[in-house]
Structure 1
């Protein structure tokens, strides 16, 4: 099932999420639906608040970044992204280390807006998988960035929060337009002013 993506301005995007209890929801079905929704919108990550759920889960699929690298003859493909397709349940980032580096991020909930965000290079995260097994893993580079972006959604933070003040002023009207539904997106969206 493909969910509509919740647009900027909806209060659920600013609410910290709650931890999921074991067997509370059908995690395998929810994960499938989230991947289907994300792929339908050409995303590389999707967090539960973006489909209107206030629970601590997100999905990632870095394959599109790996494929883009392969198309660029000067770039070596980022092999860490080739099979980087996962569901993170009740994740907790335990540590972030390394140099902060910039990358132009976007968000399915904020179509048409992009901006450079600085994030630490490496992270260590604890989470549960779809079989409720606990894992503690370390990620670096683009994989870490995708996780950091989606993890922020679980805390009620958005990538635009990291932008410089001048850039925020520049995009203020665009953000207001998105919240009112005055935006072109090639996927279904749910707008706060159209409830």
Structure 2
């Protein structure tokens, strides 16, 4: 289901609770909402659709990569950049890493550990910040 985008900084600053298998539908809603906003957005976190659970969706070719309880376990090659957010106007400076390694669960609740680099790594870092209540 395509959901409305939350724009309240107060709501976005609230840290998310760990996702459980009962939250699988949130992943589907994130993927649907990301697809509906593909012309202006490359990633979403569950709090951006009003769900305070640790779930993110990242544009990954024709489909969204949905991650439950993503955790960045390794970061390499720090750089400074500016980012925009679908929930907020304007851009804000931030620190990112060119390469990251992430552990997460898929919608079958299987654990994965993958490495990402470049723009995909940047998107994942932005959405993981959302899960922690960090607004950029």
TM bin (shorter chain): 0.7 to 0.9
Does structure 1 residue 108 correspond to structure 2 residue 107? no
Determine which of 32, 39, 45 is the counterpart of 1:36: 32
* Aligned position for 1:57: 55
Distance in 1 (CA, whole Å) between partners of 2:19 and 2:63 is: 23
* Aligned position for 1:122: 99
* Aligned position for 1:14: 13
Does structure 1 residue 45 correspond to structure 2 residue 43? yes
Q: Deviations 1:50-95 (Å, cap 9, x if unpaired)?
A: 1111111010105xxxxxxxxxxxxxxxxxxx46730010111112
**Corresponding residue SS for 1:130:** coil
Q: How many residues align?
A: 134
Higher normalized helix content (fraction of residues): 1
Distance in 2 (CA, whole Å) between partners of 1:84 and 1:4 is: 20
**CA gap 1:84/1:40 in 2 versus in 1, 3 angstroms:** closer
Higher normalized strand content (fraction of residues): 2
**CA gap 1:84/1:140 in 2 versus in 1, 3 angstroms:** farther
Deviation at residue 136 of structure 1 after TM alignment: 0.8
Distance in 2 (CA, whole Å) between partners of 1:86 and 1:15 is: 23
Q: Is the 8 A contact 1:45 1:150 kept in 2?
A: yes
Determine which of 146, 154, 171 is the counterpart of 2:123: 146
| Structure 1 residue runs without a partner (length 5+) | 63-81, 160-195
| Structure 2 residue runs without a partner (length 5+) | none
TM-score, normalised to structure 2, is 0.88
**Corresponding residue SS for 1:33:** helix
Q: Deviations 1:22-63 (Å, cap 9, x if unpaired)?
A: 3x23x1x4323212212323311010111111111010105x
State the superposition RMSD in angstroms. 1.8
Larger radius of gyration: 1
Distance in 1 (CA, whole Å) between partners of 2:62 and 2:128 is: 20
